[in-house]
Amino acid sequence: MTDAPRVPPSAPPAPRSKRRNAVLALYDSPLYRDWAFWMTAGWGLITAVAIPAGDQPSSLPVWLDTLLAVLTFVILFGVFPTWLRLLIRRWLARRRRRQPQSFAGPSPGSGDGAAAESAQRPTSPDVLPPSQPSSQPAHRQPSSPQTPSPHQHRAPAQPHSVQQPVPLTKYGTEPLSSSAVLADARRMMPHPVARAIRTLQQANTSKEQYEAVLDAAEILAISASVTAAAVLQGKTGGSVESDESGRRSLSTLRSALLARGGATFGTWTNWLEALRLFVASHPGAVPGLSEALYGDAHAADLVDQLNALRTERNRAAHGDRPQSAGEATLRVTEIGPHLEQALIKAKFLTQLPWLLTISCSYQPRSHTFDVVAHDVMGDHPDFERCEFTWPNPVATDVFYILNPEGPVSLSPFVASLFCPQCQQMEVCYATRTTKNSGPAALKSFARGHTVHSADLGDEIRSLPQGTTR
Ligand SMILES: [Zn+2]
């Protein structure tokens, strides 16, 4: 892993920020960020202004003349080109799936010679015959370097595709709405994940369910990453070497947040993947993380499961969303097991509770601090209050993780911020900031709203910086 500021993965923006072809199956959502929408609106407007102003004689009344002209121009120069764009996007998505390369673009480690080892990423195409996964050629786009041994260890268990029947049918047989894994996740996972799973289980249509699986996958990737990052950040003790490689991992995340595109789904999975090296040499640094990042005889690891879901997310983002309820149901059946396995693999999250501090007061007699906090676990929006006595003070209204060694701050990765759009506090995660000064942009887990914070911008910039080699 290089420490140079990395190129953000060229994966499309997160679905909650921009959904391709989400409006009338033609335009991207939000509309104001879609050039095709502006083109359509522009033609309509220009025609509406130009026709009444013109002096050509017409047998029709002016309003009818204008209406017909607007419709003609909008369809001809707005809707038709947009429809062509949709066809091209679908064609590109289909072609991309046939090629043995990932949608994700270059990963953080690209340019690093050691990368060829990651040839069999699960982002591999889903149309390859199941019998040949191991003879598949190396990806053109190298992924982060990793040691050969864990990779070979994982290889037999890797899912080879999103479309093929997944080799973990044990969990794939029951519908997601009644899945025991999902029920446990709603009860025990950090709130953003639990809430996303709740949304998934309450989805009314299969299309909603499909979107909810993909959203939950991204939220799980973010939550696992920020939890690991917070624990690494909180590490002050331990060996010097552990501190050093932990700092290097954090500096990678810092670079990703300072990069132009900010952090995407791919940023988080790539970062988790790069952590494999770290946990191989420091298995106890983040409790439970090494179990998550290495597959076993029964299932592939967390990163591989998340990458399989990310491949599907990219497929949808490239215009290949399910067109019918039946297709959506089929695709949910294909990707659901990956989400369940990812949740099982991310079990370490259930053992590192998220807290939102309410108050912290010094007790002179015992020289300790009484802390009151919300327990931000599970899908219920009314968090339980809990009380602690800690030897050191904590900031209030800040997210912490209750590590076995003590609380560690989730700031600047996660924050409770006032969202101007919905006029209430929202749990947000950092997506990007600028290099030298300026606020950080955070997104709310629940609605994808963007909230800015000047303090967190400074805090992200003061994360450990990598030494440029
Ligand atoms: Zn909001």
Q: Pick from 98, 123, 146: which residue ends a domain?
A: 98
Q: Pick from 69, 98, 127: which residue ends a domain?
A: 98
Is residue 205 in a domain?
no
Is residue 41 in a domain?
yes
Query: Does residue 198 have a pLDDT over 90?
Result: yes
Query: Does residue 203 have a pLDDT over 90?
Result: yes
- The tens digit of pLDDT for each residue in 231-246 reads 998 875 555 666 788 8
Centre of ligand 1 from the C-alpha of residue 412, in Å: 19
Of how many residues is the chain composed?
A: 469
Q: Over range 325-350, report the average pLDDT.
A: 95
Is residue 57 in a domain?
yes
Centre of ligand 1 from the C-alpha of residue 445, in Å: 9
Quote the number of domains for the chain.
2
Centre of ligand 1 from the C-alpha of residue 352, in Å: 26
Which are the contacts of 410, defined by CB distance < 8 A and separation ≥ 6? 226, 227, 230, 354, 398, 399, 400, 401
Q: How many CB atoms neighbour CB 381 within 10 A?
A: 9
CA distances from 179 to 165, 211, 397 (A): 18, 17, 34
Range of the domain at 367: 354-461
pLDDT for the residue numbered 18: 59
Pick the residue with more confidence: 174 or 222?
222
Is residue 279 in a domain?
no
Q: Please give the share of the chain, as a percent, with pLDDT higher than 70.
A: 75
Is residue 82 in a domain?
yes
Out of 126-130, 214-218, 359-363, least confident range = 126-130
Centre of ligand 1 from the C-alpha of residue 440, in Å: 16
The pair of structure tokens assigned to 382 is: 């009314």
Centre of ligand 1 from the C-alpha of residue 227, in Å: 22
Centre of ligand 1 from the C-alpha of residue 226, in Å: 20
Q: Pick from 98, 117, 138: which residue ends a domain?
A: 98
Q: Over range 321-336, report the average pLDDT.
A: 94
Query: Does residue 108 have a pLDDT over 80?
Result: no
Centre of ligand 1 from the C-alpha of residue 446, in Å: 8
What's the rounded Cα separation, in Å, for the pair 139 and 50? 53
Average pLDDT for the chain: 79
- Residue 37 CA neighbour count, 13 Å, CB half: 15
pLDDT for the residue numbered 144: 35
Phi, psi (rounded to 5 degrees) for 357:
-70, 145
Is residue 425 in a domain?
yes
Is residue 77 in a domain?
yes
